[in-house]
Structures are given as C-alpha cells and as structure tokens.
C-alpha cells in the first residue's frame, strides 16, 4: 500500500495524494489444502489492486508452489509463515504449511533418493 500511495503508514509529510488508507477487509480464499482468511488493504478511492490475491479472486494455487519452493530450500515452517506474512501480507497457519509439505513429502523424498 505504501508503494501505491507514495507514502508509508503514519507518514504525513510525504503525502502528495488525496487518496489514503481505508483499513482492511477480510476475505476467505480457498486452496487445495483448505480455506484461509486473509486481510486485504483498502484505499479510499478504491484504486489499489492487490498483487498476490486479486480483487474478486477466491482461489489461490500459487501460494502452495511458493511454500514447496521454500521448504525444498530447507526453510522452516515458522520461517515460511513469517516470509508469507512479511512479503505478501498473507497470514497462514503453521498447520496449513505442514499440510502442504506433508502432502508433497513422498514426492520430495523420491526425488532426493533418485539415482544420479
């Protein structure tokens, strides 16, 4: 939102636009691993376009790919949760991350043990 508006939260000196933050709205998104509630920021003129979960989008599939990629690099469940929160503003539970990785664990093990 800071990039969109041109100033950071609580920063009044750099504000050069009539637009401003207007809170957040709750949204439930569905993935193949279950439902997750997220908070989507709003602006007063409704010009903000979310990048990760688009307006009117209720199904996210790319998040699982990112979770798997981070897990494959050896990132812990809590670090993945922090990464998704800080980078995308998506609050996912460690349980959701574990469900994603557990479902793919047999494929990961098979790939790791393949003959070279």
Note the pLDDT tens digit of each residue in 22-37: 889 898 888 766 788 8
Contacts of 60 (CB under 8 A, 6+ apart): 29, 30, 31, 52, 53
pTM above 0.75, yes or no: no
Determine contact, residues 98/77, Cβ cutoff 8 Å.
Answer: yes
Total tally of structural domains belonging to the chain: 1
Is residue 49's pLDDT more than 80?
yes
Domain that holds residue 44: 2-112
CA separation (Å) from 52 to 39, 63, 81, 88, 106?
Answer: 12, 9, 15, 7, 28
């Amino acid at each position: 939102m800071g990039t969109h508006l041109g100033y950071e939260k609580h920063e009044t000196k750099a504000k050069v636009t009539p637009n401003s933050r207007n809170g957040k709205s709750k949204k439930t998104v569905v993935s193949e691993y279950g439902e997750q509630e997220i908070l989507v920021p709003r602006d007063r003129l409704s010009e903000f376009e979310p990048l990760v979960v688009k307006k009117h989008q209720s199904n996210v599939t790319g998040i699982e790919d990112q979770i798997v990629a981070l897990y494959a690099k050896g990132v812990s469940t809590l670090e993945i949760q922090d990464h998704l929160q800080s980078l995308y503003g998506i609050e996912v539970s460690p349980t959701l991350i574990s469900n994603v990785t557990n479902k793919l664990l047999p494929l990961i093990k098979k790939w790791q043990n393949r003959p070279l």
